[in-house]
Every structure is written in C-alpha cells, then in structure tokens.
Amino acid sequence: MSYQEKRTIVMSLTSLVVLIAYAIDAFGRGMADLTDLKAWAGKMLLYLVITVVAVIVVQIVFHITVPVSMAVRTAVANRGEVDEVELERKIKTEFIEDEMGKLIELKASRVGMIIAGVGFFSGLVSLLLEQPPAVMLNILFFAFGSGSIFEAIAQMIFYRRGV
C-alpha cells in the first residue's frame, strides 16, 4: 500500500471519528433543543475547529512515522546496514505527488462536492417541509462531513482501479 493510500485512509478515519463524536455529543443525550440556533452554531464551529486541528496533527504525525518506518524496515532487511542516500531517494519518491495523484485528487473532490451539493439541496428541501432551521444546519454539517469521507473512499477506489 502506497503512502497516498495510507494517508487517505488515516484522513478519512479522522474525519469519521470527529463526525461520530459530533453525532454523539449533539444527539446522544436525547433530542437537543432544535430552536436554539446559537448553540448549534457554536457546537458546529467547535467541531470544525477540532476537525482542522485533528487533521493537521494526524498529518504531521503520519508524515514523521512513515519515513521512520521505512528506515526501520530497510535496516531490518539489510541487517543494520542502511544506505542513507538510497533511503532518502526512496522516501522522496514515496512522498512525490505526481500527475496521477493530482488527477485522482481532482476526480475524488468532484465526488465530495456532489455529496455536499446533495446535502445542501436536502437542507433546502427540509426547510420547505417546515422543519426547524437546526435540521437544515445538521443536514449541511453531515453532508460536508460525509462528503470528505466519500472523497477519501473515491480516492482509494481510483488508486486501486486506476483512472
């Protein structure tokens, strides 16, 4: 499995965990007050910040652990002897983002945008059906959250199946 695939899995899992945490926090203790829009906005903003921070931290940790694990694997395979120049070149190639990676990212982001768009549409429909605005806000939040997860899944599929 390549670095890009591993990174995609880790990122999507991070988004999924934060989304589940939000769902438990928001709806876990019985039905929340759907009229208090300020509280909902505050909660959503808080989880957006948590998502951004979590993604950055996970990305940094991942960016450090991958080369270390590569170095360890090389050392084990070569019984302690590591050609540093060769290893550095290997790591550089592993981290490279080339034209295929960019194309996959572009195609996958389209999938994410479609999910977010469907969510926006559903949110508007919910308002038309006289649901409280908090329902629309939640639909939007989950649509954008699941959009990023589906984007990652699409990336995985494109990496496996090809483009």
Partner 1 sequence: MTDKFEITNNIRTLRFFADEMTQQQLAEQAGVSRQTINAIEAGKYSPSLELAFRIAQVFSKPIGEVFAYERPQEAGGSDLESGQ
One residue of 28, 30, 80, 162 binding partner 1 per CB under 8 A: 162
What are the tokens at 21?
């945490």
Q: Which stretch binds partner 1 (CB under 8 A): 26-34, 37-45, 88-96, 143-151?
A: 88-96
Q: Does 6 bind partner 1 (CB under 8 A)?
A: no
DSSP, collapsed to helix, strand or coil, labels residue 1 as coil
Q: How far is the CB of 59 from partner 1 (least distance, A)?
A: 18
Q: Does 94 bind partner 1 (CB under 8 A)?
A: yes
Q: Which stretch binds partner 1 (CB under 8 A): 43-51, 58-66, 93-101, 115-123?
A: 93-101
Q: Does 83 bind partner 1 (CB under 8 A)?
A: no
What are the tokens at 75?
């050392």
Q: How far is the CB of 3 from partner 1 (least distance, A)?
A: 8
Q: Please report the sign of the dihedral spanned by the C-alpha atoms of residue 53, residue 27, residue 39, residue 112.
A: positive
Q: How far is the CB of 114 from partner 1 (least distance, A)?
A: 23
The three-state DSSP-derived secondary structure of 35-84 is: CCHHHHHHHHHHHHHHHHHHHHHHHHHHHHHHHHHHHHHHHHHCCCCCCH
Question: Cβ closer to partner 1: 29 or 161?
Answer: 161
Q: Which residue is associated with the tokens 């984007």?
A: 151
Distance of CA 129 to the CA centre of its chain: 31
Q: Which residues bind partner 1 (CB under 8 A)?
A: 2, 4, 89-90, 92-94, 96-101, 159, 161-163
